[in-house]
């Protein structure tokens, strides 16, 4: 392996190295890529690593969406109590409670994202409650 190829691999990120390693090409020095990843303290590149990385990126994007949705949530949560003007029904209670619990669900998802990565799906329950509240009227 030449020094220019070694310098090229040093300048790539771990994700780029893994993707390059997975390419079916004779031009790629797979041993040099594995050595570079091991120098960085990373394991050998596999499909499983890429799948885990994609899942982490998806969870990060989903959590970002939940946090951005907190902006319109605040005025809606403050005004959702007016739903009781239509009457005291199970649908109204479900709507109000689901609306009020969206913010705490996002906070819990943020707190638990490192220990329980699937916790980023928790705010979906609040959104589902708001959508289903119309069925109880």
Q: What is the pLDDT of residues 45-63, one digit of tens each?
A: 565 566 777 788 888 999 9
Same domain, 64 and 98: yes
Range of the domain at 78: 53-136
Same domain, 66 and 131: yes
Decide: 132 and 97 in contact? Cβ < 8 Å: no
Q: What is the dihedral of CA 13, 17, 20, 22, to 10 degrees?
A: -130
Same domain, 36 and 58: no
Same domain, 32 and 90: no
pTM above 0.85, yes or no: no
Rounded CA-CA distance 66/104 in Å is 11
Same domain, 92 and 131: yes
For residue 34, pLDDT beyond 70: yes
Q: Which pLDDT tens digit goes with each residue over 63-112? A: 999 999 999 999 999 999 999 998 899 999 999 999 999 999 999 999 99
Same domain, 76 and 128: yes
Q: Element (H or E) spanning 104, and its range?
A: helix 102-112
Same domain, 102 and 126: yes
Q: Which pLDDT tens digit goes with each residue over 111-128? A: 998 888 889 999 999 999
Count up the domains in the chain and report the number: 2
**Tokens 């959702």 -> residue:** 80
Same domain, 37 and 65: no
- Residue 136, pLDDT score: 83
Give the dihedral sign, CA 78/83/84/88.
negative
Same domain, 70 and 125: yes
- Nearest Cα to 36, choosing from 15, 17, 51? 17
């Amino acid at each position: 392996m030449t020094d220019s190829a070694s310098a090229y691999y040093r300048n790539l990120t771990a994700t780029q190295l893994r993707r390059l390693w997975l390419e079916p090409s004779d031009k790629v020095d797979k041993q040099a890529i594995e050595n570079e990843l091991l120098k960085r303290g990373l394991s050998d590149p596999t499909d499983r690593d890429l799948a885990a990385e994609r899942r982490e990126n998806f969870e990060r994007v989903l959590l970002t969406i939940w946090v951005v949705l907190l902006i319109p949530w605040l005025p809606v949560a403050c005004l959702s109590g007016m739903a009781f003007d239509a009457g005291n029904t199970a649908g109204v209670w479900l709507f109000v409670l689901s609306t009020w619990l969206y913010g705490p669900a996002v906070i819990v998802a943020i707190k638990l994202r490192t220990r329980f990565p699937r916790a980023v799906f928790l705010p979906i329950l609040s959104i589902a409650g708001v959508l289903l509240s119309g069925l109880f009227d």
